[in-house]
Structures are given as structure tokens and as C-alpha cells.
Structure 1
Amino acid sequence: MQNEFVHKTKEYAIGRPSYTKEILNIINELGIKKQSIIVDIGAGTGLLTNMLGELDCTILAIEPNEDMH
């Protein structure tokens, strides 16, 4: 099955809005600790994954579309 994002990474990156920094505050309020693991499923080009890197925990990004890596 072909994914709608195959061969469209550039267009996706240009058109994809970023997340507000407030998302990190909301996630912190959930009680994220150093030993916490956050999994970003469908990570795309890594916009959220990169922001999550500011948290003091482990981040795993899963993106099945090789073009998005």
C-alpha cells in the first residue's frame, strides 16, 4: 500500500506547521521524568521529535516512510 507522503517530503516539510512551545509545558505537567520514555509514532520529518529532545527523558521516533527520515 502506498502512503500519501511517499516522495513528498519537501512539500510536507514546507507546508507542515510547527508546534507551539506550550506543548512541552503540557507534556511536563503529565509528570515526565528522566526515566520516562516518549514514543513519537509517525514522526514525519521530526518537528515534534526535535522539540521533545528538550525534555529530560528518552525519546523514540518511529516513521515507517523512509522518505521522511
Structure 2
Amino acid sequence: MKSETMYQTIIKGTEETLTINDGLSSGYAGEGPRGLVKVLERLGVESSDAEYYAKDRDTHKKGFILELK
């Protein structure tokens, strides 16, 4: 039985794109957003910004786009 993807995280780099189906998420305070915070921090995003993008409920109910330079 094939399961449906509930949340997709796409990280686009200058040379590669990483797509993660489920496992990471945003918009609430749970395990998925905590994992997303860790990934964003390892990509160089400041902790406070990573927390905002991963856990802010009103702004990111449907996901977000974050451009890293």
C-alpha cells in the first residue's frame, strides 16, 4: 500500500536539490519542526530565524520558501 506524502521539504542548492517526503514539517511545536530547525541551522541559518521559519503557525501553515545566499 502506497502512503500519501503529507509534507514535502525541498532544499535547493546551487548544484543539487534535496527532496524529503515527510519527516520534517513546520507550523507547530513538534518533532517535525524540531528536525527542520536542526537542518536549517546546519545550513547556516541563525537559530532564532530557524525557529521562526519552522514553528511560526500563522505565517507558515502551508510551508515557506527560504533563500540562502
TM-score (structure 2 length as normaliser): 0.27
- By relative contact order (CA 8 Å, sep 6+), the higher-ranking structure is 1
When you count helix as a share of all residues, which structure comes out higher? Answer: 1
